[in-house]
Amino acid sequence: VSQSESVEVTIPVELHGEAPGTSEGGLLSFALHEMTISCPASAIPEHIVVNISDLHVGQAIHVGEAQLPEGASAVTPESEVIVQISRPSGAAAAEPEDGAGEAEPELIRKDKEGEEGSDD
């Protein structure tokens, strides 16, 4: 690989700063721990820094908003969320990644299994 040739590499994402949204009662969700970029082989960064110092409740930072090194471009879709601050809506229900809050309602519906297809 030539030093000037462009290569695709997966780079870790690091969060820097303190999000004001966490002191406003929001929950920080670090969703994308690494991203793929295309850059010159001679300029591969060790990590991508994402500043969360202006992140409030209800806001998110997407791949397209991340500051990449000069000459680099994102391969990871720009619409993917790197980090967000969400409002807690209750105990376990505020954590959709966990799936635990969504599992219990499914068990309640399971009792109606014999009625499947009768509505259609």
Angstrom distance (rounded) from CA 35 to CA 75: 8
The C-alpha R_g of the chain, in whole angstroms, comes to 20
pLDDT per residue as tens digits for the range 2-27? 777 899 999 999 999 999 999 999 99
Whether pLDDT at 93 is above 50:
no
Q: Which structure tokens are listed for 2?
A: 């030539």
| DSSP H helical ranges for 19-111 | 20-23, 100-109
Whether pLDDT at 87 is above 70:
yes
Mean pLDDT of the chain: 81
* Mean pLDDT, range 59-86, rounded to an integer: 95
pTM metric for this prediction? 0.69
**What confidence score (pLDDT) does residue 88 get?**
84
Pairing assessment for the beta strands 73-74 and 6-16 based on DSSP bridges: unpaired
Q: Which residues are paired to 38 by β-bridges?
A: 8, 73
Q: Which long-range contacts (CB under 8 A, 24 or more apart) does 79-82 make?
A: 80/31, 80/32, 80/35, 81/31, 81/32, 82/13, 82/30, 82/31, 82/32, 82/35, 82/50
Give the helix/strand (H/E) hosting 74: strand 73-74
Angstrom distance (rounded) from CA 27 to CA 41: 37
**What confidence score (pLDDT) does residue 90 get?**
64
Angstrom distance (rounded) from CA 113 to CA 106: 11
pLDDT per residue as tens digits for the range 21-40? 999 999 999 999 999 999 99
